[in-house]
A and B are shown apart, each in its own frame.
Chain A
Amino acid sequence: MKIETKLISFPEGIVLKSGDKLDSFDLMVETYGELNELKTNAVLVCHAFSGNHIAAGKKDDVTGWWNQIIGPDKAINTNDYFVVCCNNLGGCSGSSGPISINPKTNKVYGSGFPQVSVYDWVASQKMLMDKLNIPYWHMVLGGSLGGMQALQWSIAYPDKIKKAGIFAAAAKSSTQNIAMNEVARESIRKDQNFHNGNYIDHGVIPKNGIKTARMLGHITYLSEEHMDSRFGRKFQDNDTKVNQGVDFEVENYLQYKGKKFSEIFDANTYILMTKAMDGYDAAEGLSSLNDALNSVTAQLLIIGFYSDWLYPPERGKEIQIAAMNNNIKSSYVVLKGEHGHDSFLFHNERYAKIIRKFLES
């Protein structure tokens, strides 16, 4: 599989939905496979809240977040499709974001990076599409926050997208989603090293806050059944405890995952990404989701997972009903998936087949 990673600059800048402006910005982009001569095989994959541009492949100890789905002869077959993924604006994996240098001040943006939204991501991905000389996407797809972007693509650029895959997602975050995210953000803000988001200037990182936020997040991504079968009430082996306060395996797991995440993820990006997720509402300013889907021409594939309680399948059903009301060709499938909300990340035979057949149909 041909993999290309590049930083693409947009000196023209972008006016964000909030009205704020970035005079210039960069996107870190990775592509898999090759664009065919007629340019009909481009697929955009959108990452979820903590993902990045590395969607597929294995490099050193880094595995692409959707490596189980994207690759040669996989559900998104890179022998046939040219797959593009970028780190979203405001991210911390190479695209312009809070840890980048603000060209105006030559200092790190920190908390000064403007709040971006799902709308802005889609707008910047459209700019990327143009820069890559891609006339349209054969499909745009993603899970969770990535699914919201796929939905927004179908709304914002109906003539630039043939198909959209909206997995484990919703047309807007629920009250409970927002509440969970606020607890996560609060734990970051209350870290003594946070310094109102300007921790880099102080030479520190609010790792404890990020860690706690991630621990909470992790619980919401998994299902009760999955946690039960994986950890049960088993005690952690004394030799592998991350610290002496740990009793149960599940505690050790969350401590370990949280700590690891706090070493690679930026606190401001955490706040910004969750705010973008909370803020998205496909029907914003309209009377209903029906009105929002009015101009959609792409075929939709909506997939939910029974074990997902963060974005339960019913949320996908709402999109399906609105699509049917608008005479949009649209399918809605609910699958087993044992990993709760995270199920969209994992290969399961039925899931992979459905994606593949939809892509090829």
Chain B
Amino acid sequence: MSKKISKIINEWVPEKSKVIDFGCGDGSLLKELTESKDILGYGVEINDRKIEECIAKGVSVIKQDIDKGINEFKSSNFDISIMARSIQCLKEPSLALNRMLKLSKRCVVTLPNLGYWKCRLNLAFGKMPVTPDLPSSWHETDNIHLCTINDFEALCKVENIIIKDKVFLNSKGKKSKIAGISSNLVAVEGVYLLEKK
């Protein structure tokens, strides 16, 4: 995860909160949040090698396929749940979103933007997009539910999910300055803070 994204998430996560990170990878984000915000964090991860890295860092981790179990944690009263760059890999992204917002009042979602102009250019030439942010070809990628930023926001609307805050990142990993309609063209990644109505 880029430093920029973890910095944005850091701003949204309250001090001493209870956090669950779906698809936590090697546990870097949770480790960082523990140090900066004194959170109580739990990661959910399916890859054994990454789980090992979490444990080496002292990050609590649960081996679990996110597609199969978000609901299991609903008794734990989380303050905030995070799903960074994983939602597009899930079989049922909207179900996952709703379930995350059941186990915590707020959630952070980051996702790659298929509306980014380079992706569109790829498609214009009749090819599935392969960019620095989406480096795998169509038959190798885990991203089975890619969408554009506009698509994602439309889904939030349908599902009665409030976008409390959002940041778009450009290809240099910096906050995109161009707002409005063109962000769907310029942003490579959307970072959202969501809440259920």
Known contacts: A327-B18, A327-B40, A331-B62. The answer to whether A321 contacts B55 by CB under 8 A is no
Interface residues of B in 44-58 (CB under 8 A from A): 48, 51-52, 54-58
Contacts of A317 in B (CB 8 A): 72
Known contacts: A330-B60, A333-B63, A334-B63. The answer to whether A361 contacts B76 by CB under 8 A is no
Quick check: B72 and A361 within 8 Å, CB to CB?
no
Nearest neighbor of B75 in chain A, beta-carbon distance: A325
Interface residues of A in 292-349 (CB under 8 A from B): 299, 301, 317, 320-321, 324-325, 327, 329-335
Quick check: B42 and A333 within 8 Å, CB to CB?
no
Contacts of B75 in A (CB 8 A): 290, 321, 325
**Could you tell me the distance between the alpha carbons of A194 and B57 in the complex, rounded to whole angstroms?**
54
Nearest neighbor of A303 in chain B, beta-carbon distance: B63
- Could you tell me the distance in whole angstroms from the C-beta of B22 to the nearest C-beta in chain A? 14
Q: Is B61 part of the binding interface, using a Cβ–Cβ cutoff of 8 Å?
A: yes
Quick check: B62 and A361 within 8 Å, CB to CB?
no
Quick check: B76 and A335 within 8 Å, CB to CB?
no
Quick check: A321 and B76 within 8 Å, CB to CB?
yes
Quick check: A350 and B48 within 8 Å, CB to CB?
yes
Q: Is B73 part of the binding interface, using a Cβ–Cβ cutoff of 8 Å?
A: yes
Known contacts: A331-B54, A333-B51, A357-B55. The answer to whether A321 contacts B72 by CB under 8 A is yes
Quick check: B51 and A324 within 8 Å, CB to CB?
no
Interface residues of B in 107-141 (CB under 8 A from A): none
Quick check: B60 and A357 within 8 Å, CB to CB?
no
Quick check: A361 and B56 within 8 Å, CB to CB?
yes
Known contacts: A325-B75, A335-B48. The answer to whether A320 contacts B55 by CB under 8 A is no
Quick check: A324 and B42 within 8 Å, CB to CB?
yes
Contacts of A253 in B (CB 8 A): none
Quick check: B62 and A320 within 8 Å, CB to CB?
yes
Please give the number of chain B residues whose Cβ is less than 8 angstroms from any Cβ of chain A in the complex. 21
Contacts of B62 in A (CB 8 A): 320, 331-332
Q: Is A354 part of the binding interface, using a Cβ–Cβ cutoff of 8 Å?
A: yes
Quick check: A354 and B60 within 8 Å, CB to CB?
no
Contacts of A357 in B (CB 8 A): 52, 55-56
**Could you tell me the distance between the alpha carbons of A224 and B55 in the complex, rounded to whole angstroms?**
31
- Could you tell me the distance in whole angstroms from the C-beta of B48 to the nearest C-beta in chain A? 6
Quick check: B63 and A329 within 8 Å, CB to CB?
no
Q: Is A358 part of the binding interface, using a Cβ–Cβ cutoff of 8 Å?
A: yes
**Could you tell me the distance between the alpha carbons of A167 and B48 in the complex, rounded to whole angstroms?**
16
- Could you tell me the distance in whole angstroms from the C-beta of A357 to the nearest C-beta in chain B? 4
Interface residues of B in 19-78 (CB under 8 A from A): 40, 42, 48, 51-52, 54-58, 60-64, 72-73, 75-77
- Could you tell me the distance in whole angstroms from the C-beta of A99 to the nearest C-beta in chain B? 41
**27 A-B Cβ contacts within 8 A?**
A290-B75, A321-B72, A321-B75, A324-B42, A325-B76, A325-B77, A327-B18, A327-B40, A330-B42, A330-B60, A331-B51, A331-B61, A331-B62, A332-B61, A332-B62, A332-B64, A333-B48, A333-B55, A333-B63, A335-B48, A350-B48, A353-B52, A354-B52, A354-B55, A357-B56, A358-B55, A361-B56
- The chain B residues found within 8 Å of chain A, CB to CB, are 18, 40, 42, 48, 51-52, 54-58, 60-64, 72-73, 75-77
- The chain A residues found within 8 Å of chain B, CB to CB, are 290, 299, 301, 317, 320-321, 324-325, 327, 329-335, 350, 353-354, 357-358, 360-361
